[in-house]
Structures are given as C-alpha cells and as structure tokens.
Amino acid sequence: DVKVTQSSRYLVKRTGEKVFLECVQDMDHENMFWYRQDPGLGLRLIYFSYDVKMKEKGDIPEGYSVSREKKERFSLILESASTNQTSMYLCASSFGTRIETQYFGPGTRLLVL
C-alpha cells in the first residue's frame, strides 16, 4: 500500500513564525504536491514537484515556499506565518504520468494565532 505521511496532525503557531510542514512518501513517486483546503473553497494547489530539486508554482503560491532535497520528502515552508494561512494542509504524491491517481496524506491542521 502507498503510504504518505505528514509530520504533524495539528500545529499551533504564532504570527510571524517560520513553519515547516513535512511530507514523506514510501512508493518512489516522482510527483509530490501540497494543497490547502478551506471551507467553501475546496482544495487548492500551492506547489508541486516533478523531481528532486524541482518545484512548480500552483494556484496560490504566495507566502509559501517548498523544498525537495530527496525524492521521498517534500517540505512546505511558511516563511512568516499569517492568520490567513490557518488551514488544513494536504500532501499528495503520484507516479510520473498524468493518468495516475494522487495518494494523499492525513493532513495537517494549522492554526496561526
């Protein structure tokens, strides 16, 4: 079974803090994704990566950056957390073709105070 894990289920941070969200997958997937999910807005793509050290902006990259130093790990970084970044963050991974499904992690619920 594909397993996608996220480092934390719940996080509480203060405005201005630097926040790291970690995602690890164990199926040697080329593609990894970060989404945020908000009520009424659904899931929106923040960043994705096709390979190690590669990154592409999604629909809402502002205020975020990512890092992919190893194939199995994709990190989302909030350089200076703001209250409007309070959300559920979901990581996903998939094989390298467009026809493959994405496998999701359990999510990290982030609260920025």
Partner 1 sequence: KQEVTQIPAALSVPEGENLVLNCSFTDSAIYNLQWFRQDPGKGLTSLLLIQSSQREQTSGRLNASLDKSSGRSTLYIAASQPGDSATYLCAATTGANNLFFGTGTRLTVIP
Q: What is the distance between the alpha carbons of residues 42 and 49, in angstroms, rounded to a whole number?
A: 21
Segment interacting with partner 1, rule: CB under 8 A, options 12-20, 67-75, 78-86, 96-104: 96-104
Residue in 25, 75, 87, 94 binding partner 1, rule: CB under 8 A: 94
For the chain, give percent helix, strand, coil, nearest 5: 5, 55, 45
Nearer to partner 1, 17 or 109 (CB): 109
**Residues from 36 through 75 that contact partner 1 (CB under 8 A):** 40-45, 48, 56, 58
Q: What is the distance between the alpha carbons of residues 67 and 13, in angstroms, rounded to a whole number?
A: 20
Q: What is the distance between the alpha carbons of residues 37 and 65, in angstroms, rounded to a whole number?
A: 17
Residue 28 binding partner 1, by CB under 8 A: no
For residue 46, CA distances in Å to 54, 66, 71, 78, 98 come to 14, 9, 18, 11, 18
Q: What is the distance between the alpha carbons of residues 104 and 59, in angstroms, rounded to a whole number?
A: 18
Residue 12 binding partner 1, by CB under 8 A: no
Nearer to partner 1, 38 or 79 (CB): 38
Residue in 34, 68, 75, 105 binding partner 1, rule: CB under 8 A: 105
Nearer to partner 1, 27 or 41 (CB): 41
Q: Tell me how many residues contact partner 1 (CB under 8 A).
A: 25
